[in-house]
Amino acid sequence: IDDPVTTQTFNNIPVVVTNAEVLAATNQTYQIEDGTQNVSVTVRAKRSVLNKIKADNIKATADMKELTLQTQIPISVEITGVSYESVEVSPRNLQVKLEDEETKKFPIVPKTTGTVRDGYTLGEIQAVPEMVSIRGPKSVIDSISKVETSVSVSGLSEDVVTKSELVLYDSDNNVIDQSLLANNLGTEGVSVSVQVLETKSVKVEFDTSQITAADGYSVSDIKYEPDHVNVTGRAEELKKLKKISVPASALNMSGLTSKTETVVDITDYLPDDISLTDENAGSVVVTVGIDKDGTKSYDISMG
């Protein structure tokens, strides 16, 4: 009466598959059908015993050696540290689907989140290693569209190599469960190498010696927009850089009789190991003012 025998059900107990290696001899592997990966376990015991049982005490296993009909494995339950009268599991069998096993290599695409410290920019981002071999059920392997690994760069001001985790995606950008997959990364796993570069604003200077006006005209002024650009590189290289010099051949204009504009891409004139912070910001508009001799032109802003 004080300690009656009763029952209690524990839900969502995970099933662990044992001896899965028996499939290796036939180059097969398995997938667990939905709804059978977790089971409910009903224990019959004295109330004092039930009060001691935690979900962690319950171990549900399915031995691949007991596979029947190529689809079902009986589930057995063990509860450590207590004495009980009986135990029932629902469902009683783990439903599996056997498949051919496949191994395929994939490039690892490194991704970053966040932003580096002001005055710095990201350089080369590289996964270490750059490739991974993944082994598992053929249907799962064939569904892999891309393999990514991501790290945060928030507040960084120097190079780092950071441990990360693989994330697999299918063609619809859904994350793929890796519980039935294996890879060749071993205990080292995957890391992302992040290069952090400094930035600097430098002057753009043109050689205008080949800009000439026609007879009876003269060059009044030459303007550049922008006249400074932001570049990035290693600190020691940026320290040497005082300006970006554009040769006269980039502005070979002669016989001008009116105001003329031209666009010069300065990217080709950057020193080695120096690049633009914004790779699309290399276009500089050069405006050449031309006056007829004895006259003076003015630009008037409307406002």
Q: What is the pLDDT of residue 297?
A: 67
User: Does residue 108 have a pLDDT over 90?
Assistant: yes
> What digits encode the pLDDT tens for the residues 116-162?
898 888 888 999 999 999 988 888 899 999 999 999 999 888 899 99
128 within 8 A of 167, measured Cβ to Cβ: no
Gap between the Cα atoms of 4 and 71, Å rounded: 40
pTM: 0.59
Q: What is the pLDDT of residue 12?
A: 86
Q: What is the mean pLDDT of the chain?
A: 87
Gap between the Cα atoms of 150 and 251, Å rounded: 45
> What digits encode the pLDDT tens for the residues 198-209?
999 999 999 999
Q: What is the pLDDT of residue 178?
A: 87
Residue in 129, 40, 50 with CA at minimum distance from that of residue 84? 50
User: Does residue 26 have a pLDDT over 80?
Assistant: no
Looking at the chain, the whole-number percentage of residues with pLDDT higher than 90 is: 36
> What digits encode the pLDDT tens for the residues 260-283?
999 999 998 998 889 998 888 899
Q: What is the pLDDT of residue 193?
A: 94
Q: What is the pLDDT of residue 303?
A: 64
8-state DSSP, 300: -
Q: What is the pLDDT of residue 64?
A: 84
Q: What value does the mean pLDDT take over residues 2-13?
A: 84
Q: What is the pLDDT of residue 50?
A: 83
Gap between the Cα atoms of 179 and 12, Å rounded: 17
The Cβ of residue 280 has, within 10 Å, a number of other Cβ atoms equal to 7
Q: What is the pLDDT of residue 89?
A: 85
Q: What is the pLDDT of residue 167?
A: 94
| Banded model confidence at residue 298, pLDDT cuts 50, 70, 90 | low
Q: What is the pLDDT of residue 18?
A: 85
Instruction: Give 246 or 180, the one with higher predicted confidence.
Output: 246
Q: Which of 80-84, 157-161, 166-170 has the lowest mean pLDDT?
A: 80-84
Gap between the Cα atoms of 218 and 227, Å rounded: 23
User: Does residue 35 have a pLDDT over 70?
Assistant: no
User: Does residue 194 have a pLDDT over 90?
Assistant: yes
- The structure tokens 């003012």 sit at 289
User: Does residue 15 have a pLDDT over 90?
Assistant: no
User: Does residue 299 have a pLDDT over 90?
Assistant: no
> What digits encode the pLDDT tens for the residues 53-68?
888 888 988 888 888 8
| Banded model confidence at residue 181, pLDDT cuts 50, 70, 90 | confident
Q: How many CA atoms lie within 13 A of 22 on its CB side?
A: 11
Gap between the Cα atoms of 276 and 301, Å rounded: 32
